[in-house]
Amino acid sequence: MTRVCYDREALRLTMEGHAGAGAFGADPVCAALSMLMMTLERRMEDRAEEALPVISRGPGRFEIRCDPEDGAEELCRESYDTVAAGLALLAENRPEFVSFRLTEEEEP
């Protein structure tokens, strides 16, 4: 099971775990999840001067958070919201492999 959490207020998107929808390295759900996260990663890296991203990833985990400069928050939030919509759609269609949680507050 892959657990996705989007903290919209803090501009933080985390993903943990393996979907388990197929063999390791050939899991279509993991591939879709990873591609969505890598899309956001690229978008934030392309705008690193304004978005100030912090990206962390490894086997079974991925985190992207930003502390945008004044004027760049809307651009970041729009990108996060778009990717989060795709992640939520995956969770809706494949709930046995993906869970999605949206929060408006930063976790402790």
What pLDDT, in 10s, does the model give residues 18-58? 999 998 889 999 999 999 999 999 999 999 999 999 999 99
Place of tokens 């949680």: 101
- Work out the average pLDDT over 63-71: 93
pLDDT at 104: 73
Q: CA 40, 52, 56, 45: dihedral to nearest 10 degrees?
A: 40
pLDDT value, residue 105: 57
Q: Which long-range contacts (CB under 8 A, 24 or more apart) does 38-42 make?
A: 39/83, 40/13, 40/64, 40/79, 40/80, 40/83
**Structure confidence by residue, pLDDT tens digits, 81-105:** 999 999 999 999 999 999 999 997 5
Tell me what pLDDT residue 101 has.
Answer: 97
